[in-house]
């Protein structure tokens, strides 16, 4: 049995994160993560900003999102190791074994395909799920409300097909 943080503590921590992020003492911008992908591609492949003008637009946001993502990774690690004591390394989560198979290759392929589809969807939607759900919904943005509704409907449909859940 793992220790769990109460739901209300998560809400308070998220509210604090949003207040800090939007404030001039924090990032002074909304939370998001998908802009880091093209920003990182520019770092790795040294892309020409004249050929790709979008790179000029995302310079500040992309740099900040990289720091935020590393902080999220580090924070998740610290929380799972020290607070909830639930850390474990696994290429195949128990839910995957239960509903799909024991193949590491299958799991990695599906993970890549799903991640690729998510980043394409994030760019098409003008922001990622973290940006729309956390920043957009906290500001009551209509586009984020529509996005959230569509994502939830897609989650239910995908879950029904992918995990083949039968009603009892």
- The answer to whether 35 and 69 have CB atoms below 8 angstroms apart is no
Distance CA 168, CA 148 (A): 28
Categorize the per-residue pLDDT at 166 as very low, low, confident or very high, splitting at 50, 70 and 90.
low
pLDDT of amino acid 168:
53
Does 137 score more than 80 pLDDT? yes
Task: Quote the pTM value.
Answer: 0.67
pLDDT of amino acid 94:
84
Per-residue pLDDT tens digits for 112-128: 998 888 888 877 877 77
């Amino acid at each position: 049995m793992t220790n769990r943080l109460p739901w209300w503590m998560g809400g308070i921590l998220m509210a604090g994160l949003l207040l800090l992020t939007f404030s001039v003492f924090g990032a002074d911008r909304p939370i998001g993560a998908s802009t880091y992908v093209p920003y990182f591609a520019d770092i790795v492949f040294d892309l020409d900003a004249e050929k790709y003008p979008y790179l000029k637009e995302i310079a500040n946001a992309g740099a900040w999102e990289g720091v935020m993502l590393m902080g999220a990774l580090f924070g998740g690690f610290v929380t799972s190791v020290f607070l909830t004591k639930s850390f474990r390394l696994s290429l195949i989560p128990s839910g995957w074994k239960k509903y799909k198979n024991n193949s590491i290759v299958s799991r990695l392929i599906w993970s890549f395909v799903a991640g690729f589809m998510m980043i394409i969807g994030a760019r098409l939607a003008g922001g990622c799920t973290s940006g729309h759900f956390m920043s957009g919904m906290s500001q009551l943005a209509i586009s984020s409300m529509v996005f959230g509704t569509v994502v939830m409907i897609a989650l239910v449909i995908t879950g029904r097909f992918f995990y083949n859940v039968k009603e009892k």
